[in-house]
Structure 1
Amino acid sequence: MSSPYKSFAVAGGGTVGLPIVNALAAKNVPVILLSRPGSAAKTVPPNVQVVEVDFSDTFQIARALQKHNIDVVLSTLTTTAAAAQKPLVDGAKLAGVKLFVPSEFGSPTEGHTEGPLGAKNEIAAYLKSVGIPSTRIYAGLFMEFIPWLVDYGNGGKIKVVGKGDAPVSYTSIADVAGFVAHVLTTLPPSELENRILRLEGERSSLNDLAAQFKTSVEYVDSITGEDGGLKTGLQGIMNSGGGSTGWDVVKKAEGQGNDAAGSANALWAGHRWQSIKEVHKL
């Protein structure tokens, strides 16, 4: 089965953006990387073109998308730049883009009204208001970020703020990128338009990570040092249940069926998802 989506533009060449570009390029489909003028040079496959655009300039974005006959726009702009997606959405609308994949790839954002998660949910609502079909992909925490989140490099322990017993979804960056490329190049619009796809490579509480890393848990009031506030805030979301890709923030409960954590894994039939031990060579 092949998808009707034939050409792709990825906005942002960071942590997940470049892997998605590479995964799409490996499918031998037309793909461009949209990059800010003056940003660091990106190493991309030879069949990928880097196109510099001002992400605040709707018309410049639209012209670039039209020039390359783009069907699907994928935003991988960082959480702090979530508001910057609006000109990108407007440009996609002007260019007649068929599908928009907003910058999610983390904890569930549906139902949130404040903070970074609320900003992402606002973009989803904006896409609906302008009439562009969207696919939101929740992946939980990237497995590669576990040591960063728990401050493992500072003392070799799993630092936990709160109880640390709530289940959390983890997915490797490679699996996220591969999944995105797979579904966008194989599934029909009916399985992608205005859908939320929930991934989960492995499920574990913060407490249970200690055994995998062969260390102990250190309970702390907060994570200090660089990005300490962000790490503390993320652990707070996880303690509330929001670290699971199946979490419903309104009902404060896990979803069922297509709303369950990892329910979208089945869309990549036969794929073996990486484990935390594999990613960290434990």
Structure 2
Amino acid sequence: MSSQFKTVTIAGGTGLLGYNIAEAFLNDGSYDVKIFRRKPKTENEKANLLASKGAEIVYVDYDQKDDLVKALKGTDVVVSVISDSTGNLFESQVPLLIAAKEASVKRFIPSEFGGEFKVGVHPIPDGKIKFEEEVIKSGLEYTIIFNGLFQEFLSWIGFDVKNKKATFYADGNKRLHTTSLADVGRYTVETLKMPEARNSFIKVAGVTMSLNEYLQKFEEISGSKWEVVVDEEVKYRYKNKIDPIPSPEENFKATLVQNDQFKDLDNDKFSFTPRPVM
């Protein structure tokens, strides 16, 4: 497969996911890769590693449109992996989209890289959905990638490796799509070489297993039986302020786990087999 694109700019390319995406593009070897980091310039080990592999590190002010437009000149594809401490992935990405259009960028890949949600489920995915709509209206080509949960974050959504304890926010038979960070990077790279990824939603998953099956994997690796706590009422207690009131973080975890999983995966359109969980 070949690509019509040459220069890829990754906004947030030294973050956890962004670094994996940047490495995938550098390993592919078909692209000139720019990495956007926020001003002021600071020493960063990941930035240094990516630079040693051929990436150009560019420091930008996302609040200055002219600065962004200048930095984006010559870019064919923007991959946004911007994070925001408030979880507002609409407001944080809008300046980048505006500048990308002014700089004549050809394709924009927004900071989705998660599950497919309906509006009103939770404020964080609501912001993503709102921004996806802006990208589609912008007139730029787009690819929106859904990959489920990150395998590296399974401990965060309830699998406590240290204490060998699993907290289920849904029935144990609930199935979850998960994908490794490295494979998300590889999927992102290959979408640029797939005609069907133009102006499309691409849905992939490294594995799809039930909570019970993920637990079994953890138990096999640890060599011991785990304690299991089932708490499916988190969202109800959070919404109605019923004691014990869950934290916003617990509410978000429950949202992710209880969300409907997408169907009709596009895995067969890609050239590689994703790694199995653990």
- TM-score (norm: length of structure 2): 0.83
Q: What residue number does 1:59 align with?
A: 66
Distance in 2, matches of 1:118 and 1:95, equals 27
CA contact (8 A) 1:139 1:199 kept: yes
Task: Give the distance between the partners of 2:127 and 2:63, measured in 1 at CA.
Answer: 17
Q: CA deviation at 1:208?
A: 2.7
Aligned to 1:44: 50
Question: 2 CA distance for matches of 1:58 and 1:159?
Answer: 45
Largest Rg, 1 or 2: 2
Distance 1:40 1:266 in 2: 40
Code of the residue aligned with 1:99 in structure 2: it is R
What displacement does 1:120 show?
Answer: 0.5
Separation in 2, partners of 1:51, 1:266: 35
Judging changes above 3 Å, is the alpha-carbon distance between structure 1 residues 165 and 228 closer, same or farther for their aligned structure 2 residues? farther
- The equivalences for 1:1-282 within 5 A come to 1-12=1-12, 13-28=14-29, 29-38=31-40, 41=44, 42=47, 43-46=49-52, 47-66=54-73, 69-78=74-83, 80-82=87-89, 83-109=91-117, 111-113=118-120, 115-153=123-161, 155-184=163-192, 186-188=193-195, 191-214=196-219, 215-220=226-231, 229-241=248-260, 244=261, 246=262, 255=263, 260=264, 263-269=265-271, 271-277=272-278
Residues 221-278 of structure 1, C-alpha deviations (whole Å, 9 max, x = no match): 659xxx953244232342242xx2x1xxxxxxxx4xxxx2xx2212222x1211113x
Where does the alignment leave 5 or more consecutive residues of structure 2 unmatched?
220-225, 236-245
Aligned to 1:251: none
From the superposition, tell whether residues 177 and 238 of structure 1 become closer, same or farther in structure 2 (CA, over 3 Å).
Answer: same
1 CA distance for matches of 2:228 and 2:56?
A: 46
Asked if 2 retains the 8 angstrom alpha-carbon contact of 1:137 and 1:197, the reply is yes
User: TM-score, normalization: structure 1?
Assistant: 0.82
What is the deviation of 1:23? 1.0
**Aligned residues between the structures:** 250
Q: Find the aligned partners of 1:149 and 1:196 in 2 and give their Cα distance.
A: 25
**1:202 partner letter:** V
